[in-house]
């Protein structure tokens, strides 16, 4: 038990530092998602996911090679890591395909609803979510309906909205599995997740006898996507483990804002007023959901 409290100035400094880390995690997630969606318009999404995950896997392999396995070996975290790898890679595949074919300003908030899946799975396993969690889910769903309604009415966004919804399910299942595995080891669960993804895509590459036609000029961009995602996870882990979980969760959940702003600036995406309102409502729900998890 701690018997002394840090001086106010030092405590304020630590809060500023780790709040900044969580914010940069959101920026890194949002930016890497935007770049991935952009490059998926010229490369198949499955290729983008496979190569970017391979970069992250290589980096995690270096970390695990230095750190070694936990004392329990593969017990406790490995099955969850495998499930997280399968669900996460399928979620990314659907997400990048949705970003490539749809309106990023609508797709990103829908995919971010994956944060509600762990709540449902938690209920199924006997947990009791807070009232704030249920309110967050309800508000976010209302926002998604408002944001995606015009797309569905026109018939041009049906596929991208469906893919974004599937991505949300994949992300949510992956988050649930990561949570369970991380109770034993965060690093090794993340490593196992990426190894599973890369092995799956390696088998696919051998089956079709192709590496996706990726030229040398594409490598830096794909590496940027993979390292951006890995950096975001690292920044978020450091921020949340500092004791400022509530701040990290809320700020980290704002990553769709970065994707939306980049799509508006670079691609000139424009949303109707009702869609803008819906995106705002969805993000508010996502923030409430993240705060409820903290």
pLDDT-derived band of residue 167, with 50, 70 and 90 as boundaries? very high
Q: Pick the range with the lowest mean pLDDT from 2-6, 233-237, 266-270.
A: 2-6
Considering the entire predicted model, what is its pTM?
A: 0.81
Compute the distance between CA of residue 291 and CA of residue 24 in angstroms, rounded to an integer: 18
DSSP state of 106: H
By the 8 A CB rule, do 144 and 278 touch? yes
pLDDT single digits (tens) 274-291: 878 888 888 888 888 777
Higher pLDDT, 221 or 178: 221
Q: List CB contacts of 47: < 8 A, sequence separation 6 or more.
A: 212, 213, 214
pLDDT above 90 as % of the chain: 16
pLDDT band at residue 107 under the 50/70/90 scheme: confident
């Amino acid at each position: 038990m701690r018997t002394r409290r840090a001086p106010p100035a030092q405590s304020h400094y630590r809060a500023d530092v780790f709040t900044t880390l969580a914010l940069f995690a959101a920026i890194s997630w949002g930016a890497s998602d935007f770049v991935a969606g952009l490059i998926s318009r010229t490369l198949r999404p499955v290729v983008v996911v496979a190569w970017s995950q391979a970069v992250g896997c290589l980096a995690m392999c270096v970390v695990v090679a230095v750190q070694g396995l936990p004392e329990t070996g593969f017990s406790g975290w490995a099955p969850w890591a495998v499930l997280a790898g399968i669900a996460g890679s399928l979620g990314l595949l659907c997400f990048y395909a949705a970003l490539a074919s749809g309106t990023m300003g609508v797709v990103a908030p829908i995919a971010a609803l994956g944060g509600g899946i762990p709540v449902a799975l938690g209920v199924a396993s006997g947990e009791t979510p807070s009232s704030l969690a249920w309110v967050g889910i309800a508000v976010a769903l209302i926002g998604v309906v408002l944001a995606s309604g015009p797309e569905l009415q026109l018939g041009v966004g049906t596929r991208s909205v469906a893919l974004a919804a599937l991505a949300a399910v994949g992300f949510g299942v992956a988050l649930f599995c990561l949570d369970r595995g991380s109770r034993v080891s965060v690093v090794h669960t993340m490593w196992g997740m990426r190894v599973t993804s890369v092995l799956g895509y390696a088998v696919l590459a051998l089956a079709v006898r192709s590496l996706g036609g990726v030229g040398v000029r594409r490598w830096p961009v794909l590496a940027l996507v993979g390292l951006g995602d890995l950096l975001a996870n690292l920044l978020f882990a450091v921020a949340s483990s500092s004791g400022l979980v509530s701040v990290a969760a809320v700020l980290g959940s704002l990553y769709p804002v970065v994707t939306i702003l980049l799509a508006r600036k670079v691609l000139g995406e424009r949303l109707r007023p009702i869609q803008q309102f819906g995106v705002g409502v969805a993000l508010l729900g996502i923030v409430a959901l993240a705060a409820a998890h903290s």
